Every structure is written in structure tokens, then in C-alpha cells.
Amino acid sequence: MTCRPLLLGGWFRIIVEKETVQGRPGREQRLDTAGNGAHMPGRKWYAIALVVLVAGAAAAGVMVYTRLSDLSRELVQVIVPGEADVTFSQPGTYTIYFEQESVVNGRVYRTAGDIAGLLVRVRSTNGAEIDLASPSFSSNYSIAGRSGEAVLTGTIVEPGRYHLAAGYTDGRTEPQAVLAIGLGVPGKILGTILTALAIGACSFLVAVATVAVTFLKRRKAIRLATAPQPGIAPS
């Protein structure tokens, strides 16, 4: 490696010629004390962009799994045909899910049969019946060995204890199934999905911006380093 100073137009420049292994002159890197030299970022920034992308995807996945796991634990399960007392602690619209795969008290339920004809009723302690209707849009989940599909919704005005009773209209007792009840479940699932998408999109944009800026700065630095300078004869 050799260094040679040049005095051009009041600017002091140092030309650094890097020898390659084969002995041929390598690419020149000009360091300009007047501030005209281009800084070349290292290739490590490409690796950093990849790390940001992977970390964002991992964070989104962990967030979805954690929130859905918490949500599944909040759901109240009832084995039907049968009846049970259910406490609704907050007013609002509750969703009743039919869980095709479920676990209740350590017992695994897989309902492959048809539950058509299952009649579900919810009554308050004073006998008033809650109106149940089909959900306005489809909602389902699958997490931790449980998968459910929304089948009914109902609005609770007065929080408190309610009685749920479900049975087949033709009197049969099979197949047994698990119903899961929760407050605002579709909105929570949608919010979780949108948050995960936002995390993934942000990490992707940051990674793309990092790669683009690194590439452009490296290309500019290479172009300046190889461009002939006024008043300097090519060697």
C-alpha cells in the first residue's frame, strides 16, 4: 500500500492505492479533507436489515400466540347437551362458539358429528330470556389444541349470573359438543391480527429502507472513488 499527497486548488488530498494479493492496484479510496469524500457503509448493514426483518416476524408471531392463548383462557366452556350457570361480569355482546376440538378439565373433545338442531337458551335469574342470533360475520380461532367457530351472539345488559341450557330438539344426547362463550371475541381477534400485520409491515419497511440506503451510499462511494479527478493524470 502506497500513499502520495497532492495539492490541487488549495485542497490537500491523499490518494491511497491498495495492492491486491496478485500485486495489481486495487480500487482507490479518496479521503478529502474538504469534505467531498463519500463514506461507504459496510455490508454489515445488509445483515442488520435481515435481523430487523426476522425479529419483526418473530415478534408478530409471539404476540399473536400469546394474545390468542390468553383469549382462549378467558372463554367460558359448557358441555352440551347440558346446562350450566354462567357469570357475565360486563355488559356487551357475547359470542358463543362451537369448539370442534376442545379440552375441558383434561378431557379431549373432538366433535365430528352434526350439531344441527341444537337449541341454546340463556336466561337471567329472574327468568328473562336473552335473544340469541346468528353472528353478523364469521369468526373462528385455532390455538393450543382448541378450534372454534362462532355460531350465536347475544347482548347482556345487566351483568350477573345467567343460566345456559342447550339440547337437541329431537331429544338425542349425541354428539356431545363444547360451547365457549366470550365477550367481544371477534374484535379482539381482529385487533390481534391487525397489530401483528402492523409489526410485520414496520419491520419490513425498516429492512427495505436500510438495504436501499446502504446500496445507494455504497454505489455513490464506489462511483466517486473510481471517477477521474480534474488535474490528475490516470496512473
Q: How many CB atoms lie within 10 A of CB 188?
A: 18
Which residue is it, cell 355488559?
A: 91
- The dihedral through the CA atoms of 46, 48, 49, 51 has a sign that is positive
Residue 112: HSE in the Cβ half-sphere, 13 Å Cα cutoff: 0
- Give the residues of the chain that fall short of pLDDT 50: 1-36
Q: Please give the Cα distance from 198 to 36 (Å, whole number).
A: 40
Torsion angle of C-alpha atoms 153, 158, 163, 168, degrees rounded to 10? -20
Q: Give the pLDDT confidence score for residue 142 in this predicted structure.
A: 83
C-alpha cell at 226: 473510481
> 125-171: per-residue pLDDT in tens?
888 899 999 988 888 888 778 888 999 999 999 999 999 999 999 88
Q: Please give the Cα distance from 209 to 138 (Å, whole number).
A: 37
Residue 107: HSE in the Cβ half-sphere, 13 Å Cα cutoff: 10
Q: Please give the Cα distance from 117 to 138 (Å, whole number).
A: 20
Torsion angle of C-alpha atoms 137, 142, 145, 150, degrees rounded to 10? 0
Q: Please give the Cα distance from 40 to 35 (Å, whole number).
A: 14
Q: Please give the Cα distance from 9 to 217 (Å, whole number).
A: 27
Cis peptide leading into residue 135 (ω within 30°): no
Which of 92, 95, 76, 75 minimizes the C-alpha distance to 156? Answer: 92
Q: Give the pLDDT confidence score for residue 23 in this predicted structure.
A: 42
**Helix 44-74 and helix 185-226, axial crossing angle in degrees, nearest 10:** 180
> 84-94: per-residue pLDDT in tens?
999 998 999 99
Q: Please give the Cα distance from 53 to 204 (Å, whole number).
A: 6
Q: Please give the Cα distance from 2 to 229 (Å, whole number).
A: 18
Q: Please give the Cα distance from 197 to 122 (Å, whole number).
A: 37
Q: Does domain 76-185 have CATH number 2.60.120?
A: yes
Amino acid identity of residue 8, one-letter, is L
Q: Give the pLDDT confidence score for residue 230 in this predicted structure.
A: 65
CB within 8 Å of 105: residues ≥ 6 apart: none
